[in-house]
Amino acid sequence: DQQVKQNSPSLSVQEGRISILNCDYTNSMFDYFLWYKKYPAEGPTFLISISSIKDKNEDGRFTVFLNKSAKHLSLHIVPSQPGDSAVYFCATGAGSYQLTFGKGTKLSVIP
Amino acid sequence: GAGVSQSPSNKVTEKGKDVELRCDPISGHTALYWYRQSLGQGLEFLIYFQGNSAPDKSGLPSDRFSAERTGGSVSTLTIQRTQQEDSAVYLCASSLGGSPSPLHFGNGTRLTVT
């Protein structure tokens, strides 16, 4: 039973438009949420995080939104750039210990 | 500064052989994790080391898997009598530990068991 679900295995977006990646989780004890980006043949790279006391965190073109009542997390990238093309994983946990990862969403930004 | 270093980057082995995978974490990071990613799957937690505490081995899939961390730094993941289902990318990560802090991953070791 997946505790963290990324229901869209892939997403295509035009350059300059907004990319929205979604993630749902089941465990209400989770209080730390992260997004990672992964290029082929590389390890995941930390992108942005949010704790359960917030509902939004912004870093440049990247914004993470947390809806605790819906147990839903999203990542917005605006404007999207071709270099953003990668697999994006959401991860959740209690603190940073033993993060549970989703299966990833492959984002393709079309020039 | 240097990131998490893993070796080898690729390993092909025959079924039944033992393999050792190495991880060199970021200097000063007290927490070290091993994950693996099988084809089409998310990252699966294997084991967690924090300082001098006993490791959390709850994610190890069988007793063929073991890991150690010497001197609070370098870690080795050992898989004995490898099976084809062990084929995956094995990822090591480290973090500052303590209060929530992001995990920093190495580039992984791609293990193929033939």
Residues A36-54 pLDDT 10s: 999 988 999 999 999 999 9
Mean pLDDT of A59-75: 96
Chain B CA closest to residue A5:
B42
Query: What pLDDT sits at residue A95?
Result: 60
Whether A96 sits inside 8 A of B95 (CB atoms) is yes
Question: Is the pLDDT assigned to residue B59 strictly greater than 70?
Answer: yes
**What phi-psi label fits residue A103: left (phi over 0), alpha (psi between -120 and 50 degrees) or beta?**
alpha
**DSSP secondary-structure letter at B56?**
B
**What phi-psi label fits residue B71: left (phi over 0), alpha (psi between -120 and 50 degrees) or beta?**
left
Closest approach of chain B CAs to the CA of A45, in angstroms? 7
**Contact between A75 and A21 (Cβ < 8 Å):** yes
Closest approach of chain B CAs to the CA of A80, in angstroms? 24
Question: Is the pLDDT assigned to residue A23 strictly greater than 80?
Answer: yes
Mean pLDDT of B32-57: 90
Give chain B's end-to-end CA distance (angstroms, integer): 37
- Going by pLDDT thresholds of 50, 70 and 90, the confidence category of residue B99 is low
How much of chain A exceeds pLDDT 90, in percent? Answer: 80
Q: Which two tokens stand for residue A100?
A: 């549970």
Q: In one letter, which amino acid is A77?
A: I
Which of A49, A101, A104 comes nearest B102 by C-beta?
Answer: A49
Phi, psi of B70 (to 5 degrees): -95, 130
Query: What pLDDT sits at residue B1?
Result: 55
Chain B CA closest to residue A103:
B42
- The 10s digit of each residue's pLDDT in B4-29 is 999 999 999 999 999 999 999 999 89
Best probe of the B interface among A98, A100, A105, by most B CBs < 10 A, is A98
Mean pLDDT of B74-83: 97
Query: What pLDDT sits at residue B42?
Result: 84
